[in-house]
Amino acid sequence: MSQKALELILIRQLATRLALPMFVIDPTSRLLFYNEAAERILGRRFADTGELAAAEWTAGLDPTDELGVPLPPTAQPLLIASRERRPAHGRLWVRGLDNVRRLIEATCFPLVGMGDRHLGVVAITWQVEEAA
């Protein structure tokens, strides 16, 4: 296992103590960690998956807007935060690893380490309850 940057260790410690779902993604889109609250959105426990390559956790994500229109990468908060290195927020439908579609809001921001190193992205999300 490669040595992680101190900032990644610290953000993971913070995530374990938050009640909000939180994901930590590296610059290659590898999912490094997600907390217990995020397990309900992703549809699988972190203890069962561990770190996931981008292709593994994004394969069936199928992000769409509220009308079901697929979101281009330029409209996906996580990709905006990673590529443009700026905070981004949005409401979108995603499919978890359990194949269940959920409406979520996501606030994503770049994680910058010492020496202005781009370490990845932090995504704080929550599931939106649909109005009946």
- Residue pair 101/94 in contact (Cβ under 8 Å)? The answer is yes
Instruction: State pLDDT tens for residues 82-117.
Output: 999 999 999 999 999 999 999 999 999 999 998 999
Instruction: State pLDDT tens for residues 19-41.
Output: 999 999 999 999 999 999 999 99
CA nearest to 126, candidates 79, 97, 91: 91
Structure tokens at 111: 């994680």
CA distance 75 to 120: 18
Per-residue confidence at 59, pLDDT binned at 50, 70, 90?
A: confident
In the chain, where are the structural domains located? 6-127
- Give the amino acid at 64: T
The answer regarding whether domain 6-127 maps to CATH 3.30.450.20 reads yes
10 three-state secondary structure: helix
The region, left, alpha or beta by phi > 0 then psi within -120 to 50, assigned to residue 56 is alpha
